[in-house]
Amino acid sequence: MSDTKFSKAITDQGFQSQVLQAKGLQLVDFWAEWCGPCRVLGPVVDSLAEEYQGRAEVFKLNADENQATPAQFGIRGLPTVLFFKDGQLVDQVIGNVPRDVLKLAIERHL
């Protein structure tokens, strides 16, 4: 998955500056090409990126192509969405969950 109009692809190299040093709320969707549930959740994450444009940044990290960041945060299952506020990990959602579950997590940290 590459950049969409509202979400951005991110790599291990950009993670520090774009997420851990950023202010505000960042969501990072960890996914892989082979992961069926990731493909289902991807459009949901994209729609939330559009809905929360200007209030939260949404990134997508391919866990097969960028293995250091998933290892750093102990990601063991895909899809996983991590929520960072002002560079600090504040929440996580694992698996293909309903849109409302992600939306509630966003609202809780805005």
Give the pLDDT of the chain (110 residues) as one tens digit per residue. 556 678 999 999 999 999 999 999 999 999 999 999 999 999 999 999 999 999 999 999 999 999 999 999 999 999 999 999 999 999 999 999 999 999 999 999 99
Distance from C-alpha of 25 to C-alpha of 47, rounded to nearest angstrom = 16
Distance from C-alpha of 72 to C-alpha of 46, rounded to nearest angstrom = 24
Please say whether the beta carbons of 44 and 4 come within 8 A: no
**Residues designated as active site:** 35, 38
